[in-house]
Amino acid sequence: MIDIQRRFHKKRDDDPKDLGNFIQWHIEQNKIKKRSVSDYLGVLPTTLNQYFKQSSFQFSILWRISLAVKHNFLMELGEQLNIPYETKAEKALKAQLLEKEEQIKTLENQLVVYKAISKVTQ
- Ordered by start, the domain boundaries in the chain are 16-79, 86-122
91: Cα within 13 Å, side-chain hemisphere: 5
Q: What is the pLDDT of residue 121?
A: 80
Q: How far apart are CA 43 and CA 86, in angstroms?
A: 35
Q: What is the pLDDT of residue 81?
A: 82
Q: What is the pLDDT of residue 67?
A: 96
Q: How far apart are CA 107 and CA 115, in angstroms?
A: 12
CATH architecture of 16-79: Orthogonal Bundle (1.10)
Cβ(48)–Cβ(34) below 8 Å = yes
Along the chain (122 residues), what's the average pLDDT of each consecutive run of 10 residues?
Answer: 64 77 94 95 94 90 95 88 86 96 96 89 76
Q: What is the pLDDT of residue 88?
A: 92
Q: What is the pLDDT of residue 2?
A: 60
| Ramachandran class of 120: left when φ > 0, alpha when ψ lies in -120 to 50, beta otherwise | alpha
